[in-house]
């Protein structure tokens, strides 16, 4: 037997006296049916998460794994658990980077000098170093001499003792720096490079690197993502403009076996797949500025960290 489908009734206007009398006689039944239909609609209507009417206030954490593990220092992870972000577990800002917390190390370039957490190599200072502060952070300032080609900054050694990590180990490196009062006529290199050779006052960099480059000699106005294998270099624009006296959070990471990602201040990641450092090449880090005129230039560094292996995943 075919299912009977009830069609909605339409009331024609103007309403006749007969229609008014029919509504009056059956008012209670009409009201009951309308109420039932409203209840059904309310029960099956999907919730629109973008609607101010459907969703208001905050979602209780009790709806997410019963709130187990939820606190002001955790976040809801994609695998359905509450977890503590790296560096946010209290105590040292680098907790979880070195030692039992995972593979990695940090360079703390605090105003009074350079120090490290978890690195077997003592960072090397280049140029004239001094303390520096602003309203947001404290830095170690590194200034070149007033000679074209002079350099300043820091690096984590050169040679076998600086073989700290590999690209195949899924590294994740972050540098917090501030540019000096002038970014005219200079080169800046910040990033990951092979342990056997450092960045110098050239635009192509050493073999086996993945680093941020800013070079007025090359016509750069933005941070460039520079990668190089044993012989060839690839330069990709990140779109992030380089300005004087500006703080930058520069991140370089292994995305997958064939990709390295670059991001500036948490912006959209620039991913590079060409001419990457060899997967098994020993790597370390540097933060350097070179003046290309007889004028002193400076770079300020707050801190840097590298996580790798299981800790970097």
Q: What is the pTM of this model?
A: 0.69
Residue 159, pLDDT score = 84
Summarised one tens digit per residue, pLDDT across range 66-104 is 777 776 656 776 667 766 554 333 333 333 333 333 467
The span from the CA of 306 to the CA of 275, in Å, is 21
Decide the pairing of beta strands 298-307 and 104-110: antiparallel
From residue 171, how far is each of 37, 165, 260 by CA, in Å?
59, 7, 9
Q: Using the predicted structure, report yes or no on whether residue 54 has a pLDDT greater than 70.
A: no
Under DSSP, the state recorded for 165 is B
The span from the CA of 255 to the CA of 266, in Å, is 15
The span from the CA of 66 to the CA of 56, in Å, is 20
Instruction: Tell me the DSSP string of 120-142.
Output: SS--EEESEEEEEE-SS-EEEEE
Residue 176, pLDDT score = 94
Residue 50, pLDDT score = 59
Residue 87, pLDDT score = 39
Summarised one tens digit per residue, pLDDT across range 108-158 is 766 677 777 766 678 899 999 999 998 888 999 999 999 999 999 999 888
Residue 80, pLDDT score = 74
Can you name the CATH fold of 90-312?
Jelly Rolls (2.60.120)
Q: Using the predicted structure, report yes or no on whether residue 269 has a pLDDT greater than 50.
A: yes
Give the lowest-confidence range in 9-13, 154-158, 258-262.
9-13
């Amino acid at each position: 037997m075919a299912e009977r489908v009830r069609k909605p009734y339409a009331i024609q206007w103007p309403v006749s006296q007969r229609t008014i009398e029919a509504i009056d006689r059956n008012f209670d039944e009409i009201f009951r049916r309308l109420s039932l239909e409203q209840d059904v609609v309310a029960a099956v209507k999907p919730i629109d998460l973008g609607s101010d009417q459907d969703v208001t206030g905050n979602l209780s954490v009790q709806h997410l794994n019963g709130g187990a593990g939820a606190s002001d220092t955790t976040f809801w992870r994609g695998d359905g658990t509450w977890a503590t972000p790296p560096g946010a577990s209290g105590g040292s800002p680098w907790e979880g980077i070195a030692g039992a917390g995972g593979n990695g190390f940090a360079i703390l370039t605090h105003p009074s000098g350079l120090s490290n957490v978890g690195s077997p190599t003592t960072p090397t200072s280049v140029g004239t170093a001094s303390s520096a502060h602003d309203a947001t952070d404290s830095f170690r300032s590194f200034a070149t001499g007033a000679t074209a080609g002079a350099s300043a900054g820091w690096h984590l050694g050169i040679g076998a003792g600086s073989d700290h990590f590999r690209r195949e180990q899924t590294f994740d490196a972050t540098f917090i720096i501030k540019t000096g009062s002038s970014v005219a006529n200079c080169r800046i290199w910040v990033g990951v490079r092979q342990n056997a050779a450092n960045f110098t006052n050239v635009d192509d960099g050493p073999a086996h690197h993945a680093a941020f480059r800013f070079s007025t000699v090359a016509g750069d106005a933005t941070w460039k993502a520079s990668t190089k294998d044993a012989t060839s270099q690839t330069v990709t624009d990140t779109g992030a403009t380089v300005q004087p006296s500006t703080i930058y959070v520069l991140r370089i990471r292994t995305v997958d076996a064939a990709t390295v990602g670059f991001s500036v201040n948490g912006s959209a990641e620039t991913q590079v797949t060409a001419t990457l450092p060899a997967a098994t090449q020993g790597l370390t880090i540097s933060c350097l500025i070179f003046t290309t005129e007889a004028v002193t230039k400076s770079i300020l560094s707050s801190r840097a960290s590298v996580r790798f292996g299981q800790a970097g995943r």
